[in-house]
Amino acid sequence: MPAFIPKAPYTGPVQAVVLDWAGTAVDYGCMGPAAVFVRVFEQFGITVSVSDTRQFMGLEKKQHIRSMCGLPGTAAQWREKYGRAPDENDVEALYAETEPMMIAAITTHADPIPGLLPFVDGLRERHIKIGSSTGYTAPMMAVLVPKAAKRGYTPDCVVCSSDVPAGRPFPWMCYQNAIRLQVFPFESMIKIGDTISDIQEGRNAGMWTIGLTQSGNELGLPQDMVEALSPDDKDRRLAVIEARYREAGAHYVAKGIWECLELVDDISRRLEKGEHPLLET
């Protein structure tokens, strides 16, 4: 592995994949976090919708709350109830309720998404390291990681938003994965996630990116409800999500982790030809 600025394109294989957690690796539909935010705001007398919560999913949880407080509807309700706009003290108060509720929700939303374990096996066979990043904090991950391990999923590296100066869309969690996994250069890494902020994080880190349309936050439905959709309705919804991912700069789009191994192989072939993620869309 070079310890100097390369003078030629990297032509080696994919060395590592960084997976998001909820909606990508576990918790089909990213159901746990969305419900928590709705309940937290209810405790303060504020009504928010699931769609309000989902537009900021993937961010560090305190930033998620801060962003929700900035929504016109939320701010208007807050002013009507409390006589002022929500401030940073309110964000802290909301977060104090969020963390224990999120930890409780995680315990029932740790099942691997179908296709995850075969995908992991495929990466292992290819000697590709497995990292992870998340908007969850360390106390949340202290619950989720062992729950996922009991169900067969243990990545090589776990980095959460509280481990770095700022969460997504900043690239710091991806960089921390690279450090802990000892992987370089960044174009030999792939970021896979189910939110716009996942795509932004991976692009900002100089990695290849894969956005997941069906299993995660953007569609926001559990597996049984997805399977109940008519083919035309599902295709229409997924097409809208794909367009948003493409606009955000995703290099690839897949329905779920079960479709990603062949994309990893395609990226390896492109790397062999000297292609670079910063020059491709």
Catalytic residues: 20, 61
**Are the C-beta atoms of 116 and 22 separated by less than 8 Å?**
no
**Are the C-beta atoms of 60 and 137 separated by less than 8 Å?**
yes
Q: What angle do CA 165, 58, 108 make, to 5 degrees?
A: 115
Q: Would you state the structure tokens that stand for residue 170, as one six-digit string?
A: 């900043």
Helices 31-43 and 61-69, packing angle to 10 deg: 50
Contacts of 117 (CB under 8 A, 6+ apart): 152, 153
**Pairing verdict, β 252-254 and 189-193:** unpaired
Owner of token pair 């002013």: 79
Q: Would you state the structure tokens that stand for residue 131, as one six-digit string?
A: 């990292």
Owner of token pair 């009504």: 47
Q: Rounded to an integer, what distance in angstroms lies between the CA atom of residue 59 and that of residue 280?
A: 25
